[in-house]
Amino acid sequence: MEKENEEDRELEIKFSKKSIIKAMNRSPEPEPEHHQKLTLSNLDLLSGRFPVTYLYLYHNTGLMNNNFSCTVETLKISLAQTLSYYYPFAGRIIQDPDSGEPLIICDNTGALLVEAQANVPLRKLDFYNFDDSLRGKLVLSVNPDFPTQVQVTHYACGGVSITFTFDHALGDATAFGKFLSSWSQLAQNLPLSCIPDHRRDRIRPRFPPTYHPSLDDTFVKCTLEEIRNVPKTNILLKRLYYVDVSSINKLQSLACGAEGNKQSQRTKIEAFSAYLWKVMASSIDKRHAKCKMGWLVDGRGRLNSIGDDSSSMSNYIGNVLSVAIEEASIAEIKHGSMREIANKVHEAIAKVSNEAHFLDLIDWIEWHKPGLMLSKAVLGREGPALVLSSGSRFPVTELDFGFGSPVLGTVSSIIENSGVGYMNQRPSARGDGSWIISAILWPELAAALESESNSVFQPLRASHLQI
């Protein structure tokens, strides 16, 4: 009878405890003076200071021994160890009185960890219309005093969810993935696979700074207030979707065509983008003749000559992102073949996937300082647009904190206003090549995606997570 009552309940969250977790001092030596204050790099100023939230769900496998308090205490200890390596994550972000730009004070203020209890089992969460579950429940609120915030929620079934919320000034998805992987490894008493590199001064402009004028068409200087007060739009729907591996493979086959030569090959993300762009074009009203798509691009593998030495940027903790934006007429996208649109996607991404672009971007920001910078499309100033972020290498099943691998790992945005549609791709925890898509959409686009007869976008259900 009790289980039947649980199934009938509406989700309610009871917040039981808040803790401040400080970095465990693993070194007898004090931190060098230059580690106490981290000036943001030029590429950090392009982050927008948006809060970035990741959600992971853990089924009750028995490894937690039905002792939530013990599970949380173990997480606290390993988090303190992790913060000793990622010390900026335990700091504060203030406005530099001299430059007016954000500044990270590495004073070990600590990370905020919230404990909570849910009155329903994991499978009762509304995974499709997930914003109702997330806002004020699985993420209590964003406290500006703590750039790193964690909420651990225990469910009636014995399962657990963990939400991690970061200030974007701390880093990008690659940096946050390194942080979470390190935390998982320390929780399991494993050696770290990454020794983080916090030298933000590795990314600096050339002298004199110079850039291609096309960057003026893509990026704009703005204030934090302008970012936080993006004009109200109808891009309000937040959805989680499941995309089966068979659909992904079919789209890639359509995008590659029949030639079979290497030049005609297109990646899964390029093929998925082509399909997405075509559906998007069908959802835009007749007032618009054109639309845009964008793709986030990580510069770590492209910046080979930057910094004082030739060491790899792979462990660099900070923001190293740009965005490729491509505009096309709606008629061109509607009538083009999957192969033609995929080629267009490939060419657009190739324009920014190189060192020259990133060096120019660093210099463009130098010319426009002080202040923050952002893509014009992201600010909603460029008409209908959709930005796609690929997280193929972001840790999902690897994020085991000692009580098993997650059944879901995804981005879950808590921002209230968005000037652009947004999709984030992550591998499914099933490990079969399927994807989880986190999306912020306008209603017509959501309807178009979900009405497609081939059902590429399936609203995420508990059955997809096998719980």
pLDDT of residue 29: 40
> Do residues 138 and 15 touch, judged by C-beta distance below 8 A?
no
**Res 387 pLDDT > 60:** yes
pLDDT-based confidence at residue 386 (cuts at 50, 70, 90): very high
The mean pLDDT of 348-353, rounded to a whole number, is 96
Q: Is 226 exposed, middle or buried (0-12, 13-18, 19+ CB in 10 A)?
A: middle
- Domain ranges in the chain with CATH number 3.30.559.10: 13-202, 213-464
- As a whole number of angstroms, the distance between CA 13 and CA 372 comes to 36
**Res 199 pLDDT > 60:** yes
| Predicted TM-score (pTM) of this structure | 0.93
What are the start-end ranges of the E strands in 189-247? 219-222, 237-243
pLDDT of residue 145: 92
* High-pLDDT (> 90) share of the chain, %: 71
pLDDT of residue 61: 79
- Any bridge partners for residue 21, and if so which? 111
Under CATH, what is the fold of the domain 213-464? Answer: Chloramphenicol Acetyltransferase (3.30.559)
Q: HSE on the CB side for 227, CA within 13 Å?
A: 19
**Res 34 pLDDT > 60:** no
pLDDT of residue 19: 97
Assign domain 13-202 one CATH number from 3.40.50.150, 3.50.50.60, 3.40.50.10490, 3.30.559.10: 3.30.559.10
Average pLDDT, the chain: 89
